[in-house]
Amino acid sequence: MGRNPWFETVAEAQRRAEKHLPSTVYGALVAGSERGRTIDDNTGAFAELGFAPRVVGHHAQRDLSTTVMGVPTSMPVLVSPTGVQAVHPDGEVAVARAAAGKGVIMGLSSFASKPVEEVAEANPDTFFQLYWSGTRETMVQRMDRARAAGCKGLIVTLDWSFSNGRDWGSPAIPEKIDLRAMARLAPNVVTRPRWLWKFARSGRIPDLTAPNLAPSGGGPAPTFFGAYHEWMQTTPPTWDDVKWLRGEWGGPFLLKGVSRVDDARRAVDAGVTALSVSNHGGNNLDTTPASIRILPSIAAAVGEDVEVLLDGGVRRGGDVAKALALGARAVMIGRAYLWGLAANGQGGVENVLDIMRGGLDSAVLGLGRASVHDLSPDDLVIPPGFTRTLGAA
């Protein structure tokens, strides 16, 4: 008899992902940069916050639903765009189906391993993510393709300075999967026969290309590292470029990666619909404070003007409640669902989303609230010196 595929926490999904995946693949999911201080603080800061529960007056029915950029979602949790989800043969399509089944918005990376058309068909509530990469003409073509596929919003990620080097070592990821790469990776992969069997049964090998960045006139899609190189070689954008992007898209527009109050105000001036307080999951400049520490200052500064989301360190439904209490409209999760995908495919992602829903509902119940929109700082125990305010001068 096989082990029950259901797991009760994201931590268990992570343990199963580590056992199931080749070490190089799992190492790519762990991520982080330099010392790993930011990735640790992202999760550790949530644990520093406490709840202030009520004992009487609980509501038998709780409303967890909300909208993000005008799109309804059954709970304030979005699938954050992450690149090349080749931990499972179905990749982003499996994630999109799971999110659709749970009534959740799907964020699709432009570095994804599946075409935007397939993902948007699996989940009509898809937001396409774009980097400032390539020429303006190229970026317009990518936005046009996402719009034609039915994407309802655009996520623009700018918080990346190409930090590299990790004290615990970075996994060796090939440029592409060919015979030479397969031979080099064989000793690592054969120790994970179940993972290898999934791809063999699907009739394809892990794909390290980025089909959503394929040239509009035809031609092969770039490899992940080819796309990454284009991104590195593109002159960084200005605030006028952000305003141009927003105008070219012409619809709901989320700027991801904000950590400073002054940047948040400039984002409002540029006309964004929403912004995400994020440090790129700890993958960018190490020792940047945890997202939850800087959320309150940004929500206070611009929360009346735009929707404020949080990305980074969310591992349970209680974390979602804490973020909402400190001013977020919703959160975005990344590693959590990737571990679920690795552990049990679409069912694993659904499992993670159920964990988020159950934990959030328990928090809303215990705090005596009827709706996620009622959560406030009064529901939390916030230790002295917990918050950080960046760029407020």
DSSP string over 166-223: BTT------SS--HHHHHHHHHHHTT-HHHHHHHHHHT-PPP-B-GGGS-TTS-PPPB
Residue 4 and residue 340 in contact, taking contact as beta carbons nearer than 8 Å:
no
CA distance 218 to 268: 37
Which H/E stretch holds residue 50?
A: strand 50-51
Cα angle for residues 116, 82, 182 (degrees, 5° grid): 90
Q: How many CA atoms lie within 13 Å of 336's alpha carbon, on the beta-carbon side?
A: 28
CA distance 145 to 155: 14
Backbone angles phi, psi at 381, to 5 degrees: -105, 110
Residue 74 and residue 65 in contact, taking contact as beta carbons nearer than 8 Å:
yes
Tell me which amino acid residue 364 is: V
CA distance 276 to 258: 6
The residue from 58, 59, 229, 280 that is catalytic is: 280
Residue 371 and residue 317 in contact, taking contact as beta carbons nearer than 8 Å:
no
CA distance 199 to 89: 6
Tell me whether strands 50-51 and 380-381 are parallel, antiparallel or unpaired: antiparallel
CA distance 267 to 263: 6
Residue 83 and residue 109 in contact, taking contact as beta carbons nearer than 8 Å:
yes
User: Is 280 labeled as catalytic in the residue annotation?
Assistant: yes
Residue ranges of E strands in 55-113:
66-68, 71-73, 77-79, 106-108
Give catalytic residue positions.
280
